[in-house]
């Protein structure tokens, strides 16, 4: 029976057509009207705009380009040259991925590896980075994890993040995913000697699957002692049912929080209603209502919220995963606990049957 199962999963993995590149919209929260693009030391960027190409390279004396939105046109200032085009693309000399720095001047600068597209959209600029799947996973794990997280917990997060990228496309019109918690929080890719990078290398290609299909695995920073189901949060059913499971660590060490809201804002909020919580958090900030598990108490013109947990509570609990890893669980055991009735499969390459559970 074990041999038959392994054979069937091998067939499944070899038949999955998985794109190994991921298109991620970056800096969308800032609605930037200007961007600054620069070439790190040792990198050469080729900027393609309006049928022309400009090389951006520190050694050439031209290492930064300024990009502006003007109506339905992208305006590119590089040295003494000004180009106008409907879109800008940035690649290596070989027309592939390259390292580059992108900034919203005065607000944020990040390093990326991939190719870049910039287009005008509603008097702002839309910037899309196309990067290798594993680079995207590494960037997420680096952003979502904390210093000191055990390697097995990092591996579990890597598999969950990769699963989300593989199975969760379609959340945005012009790109696959954004770089915020609406999809997955994403920063710069980690250096190769970091724990996050090592976790990605150790789990390369592995995803969580349910009923023969990779699932867009949700995860949360801290549950309240038991993970939630979509129905408990007022969400529509997902392809994976997200069983509610016990989380020993969060039960014994709950993350407690308290916040104050105006009576008007509190009236829009209901416990266990994820959509209402997200609407409020996007307007007031993510610390306004950290989780769905809370009680309300009126105090004059304000409402006091007292709750436990961080995030929606679906799927892998990062706090619980850390505790399980410290107690000796490996990443497969962690994933099996938080995603019951799933298997781990490899996409895009052959894999040993020892990976099947």
Output the pLDDT for position 172.
85
Output the pLDDT for position 208.
97
Q: In angstroms, rounded to a whole number, what is the distance separating the alpha carbons of residues 113 and 24?
A: 12
Q: What is the mean pLDDT of residues 198-208?
A: 97
The whole-chain average pLDDT of the chain stands at 89
Q: What is the largest CA-CA distance in the chain?
A: 70
Range with the poorest average pLDDT among 77-81, 154-158, 272-276, 341-345:
272-276
* % of the chain exceeding 90 in pLDDT: 70
Range with the poorest average pLDDT among 125-139, 206-220, 263-277:
263-277
**SS3 of 72, please?**
coil
**Comparison of pLDDT for 24 and 348, the residue scoring more:** 24
pLDDT at 41 over 50: yes
Output the pLDDT for position 18.
44
Q: What is the mean pLDDT of residues 198-225?
A: 95
Backbone φ and ψ of 6, nearest 5°:
-60, -40
> pTM of this prediction?
0.87
pLDDT at 164 over 80: yes
Q: In angstroms, rounded to a whole number, what is the distance separating the alpha carbons of residues 83 and 76?
A: 5
Output the pLDDT for position 349.
52
Helix (H) or strand (E) holding 5: helix 2-15
Q: What is the mean pLDDT of residues 49-54?
A: 91
* Residue 223 near residue 317 (C-beta atoms within 8 A): yes
pLDDT at 11 over 70: no
pLDDT at 303 over 70: yes
pLDDT at 7 over 50: no
Q: What is the mean pLDDT of residues 240-267?
A: 94
**Comparison of pLDDT for 270 and 325, the residue scoring more:** 325
CA 338-344-350 angle, 5° bins: 165
Range with the poorest average pLDDT among 23-27, 55-59, 158-162, 177-181:
55-59
* Residue 296 near residue 207 (C-beta atoms within 8 A): no
The pLDDT-based confidence of 13 (bands split at 50, 70, 90) is very low
pLDDT at 335 over 50: yes
**Comparison of pLDDT for 123 and 30, the residue scoring more:** 30
Instruction: Output the six-digit token pair for 68.
Output: 């502006």
Output the pLDDT for position 14.
39
Output the pLDDT for position 16.
45
Output the pLDDT for position 62.
79
Q: What is the mean pLDDT of residues 303-313?
A: 94
* Residue 322 near residue 199 (C-beta atoms within 8 A): no
| Tens-place pLDDT, residues 94-142 | 999 999 999 999 999 999 999 999 999 888 999 999 999 999 999 999 9
Output the pLDDT for position 273.
84
Output the pLDDT for position 86.
94
SS3 content of the chain, % helix, strand, coil (to 5): 30, 35, 40
Q: In angstroms, rounded to a whole number, what is the distance separating the alpha carbons of residues 312 and 165?
A: 19
Question: Which residue in the block uniquely carries the two structure tokens 């007022």?
Answer: 234
Q: Residue 225: count other Cβ atoms within 10 Å of its Cβ.
A: 20
Residues 6+ apart with CB under 8 A from 105: 34, 35, 36
Output the pLDDT for position 9.
40
């Amino acid at each position: 029976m074990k041999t038959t199962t392994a054979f069937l999963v091998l067939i499944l993995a070899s038949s999955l057509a998985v794109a190994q590149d991921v298109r991620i919209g970056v800096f969308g929260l800032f609605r930037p009207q200007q961007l600054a693009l620069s070439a790190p030391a040792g990198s050469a960027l080729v900027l393609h705009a309006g049928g022309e190409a400009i090389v951006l390279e520190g050694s050439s004396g031209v290492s930064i380009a300024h990009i502006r939105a003007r109506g339905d046109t992208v305006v590119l200032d590089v040295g003494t040259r000004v180009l106008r085009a409907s879109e800008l693309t940035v690649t290596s000399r070989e027309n592939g991925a390259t390292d580059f720095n992108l900034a919203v001047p005065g607000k944020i600068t990040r390093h990326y590896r991939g190719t870049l597209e910039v287009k005008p959209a509603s008097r702002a600029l839309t910037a899309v980075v196309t990067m290798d799947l594993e680079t995207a996973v590494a960037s997420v794990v680096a952003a979502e994890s904390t210093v000191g997280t055990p390697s097995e917990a990092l591996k579990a997060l890597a598999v969950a993040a990769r699963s989300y990228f593989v199975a969760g496309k379609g959340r945005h019109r012009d790109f696959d995913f954004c770089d915020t918690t609406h999809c997955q929080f994403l920063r710069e890719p980690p250096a190769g000697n970091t724990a996050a990078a090592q976790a990605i290398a150790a789990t390369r290609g592995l995803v969580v699957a349910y009923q023969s299909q990779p699932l867009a695995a949700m995860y949360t920073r801290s549950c309240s002692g038991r993970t939630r189901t979509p129905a408990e949060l007022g969400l529509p059913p997902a392809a994976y049912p997200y069983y509610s499971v016990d989380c020993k660590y969060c039960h014994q060490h709950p993350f407690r929080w308290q916040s104050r809201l105006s009576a008007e804002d509190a009236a829009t909020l209901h416990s266990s209603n994820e959509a209402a919580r997200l609407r409020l958090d996007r307007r007031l900030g993510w610390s306004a209502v950290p989780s769905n598990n809370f009680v309300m108490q009126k105090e004059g013109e304000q409402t006091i919220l007292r709750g436990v947990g961080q995030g929606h509570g679906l799927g892998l609990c990062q706090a619980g995963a850390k505790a399980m890893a410290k107690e000796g669980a490996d990443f497969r055991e962690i994933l099996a606990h938080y995603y019951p009735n799933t298997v781990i499969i490899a996409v895009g390459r052959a894999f040993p049957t020892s990976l099947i559970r």
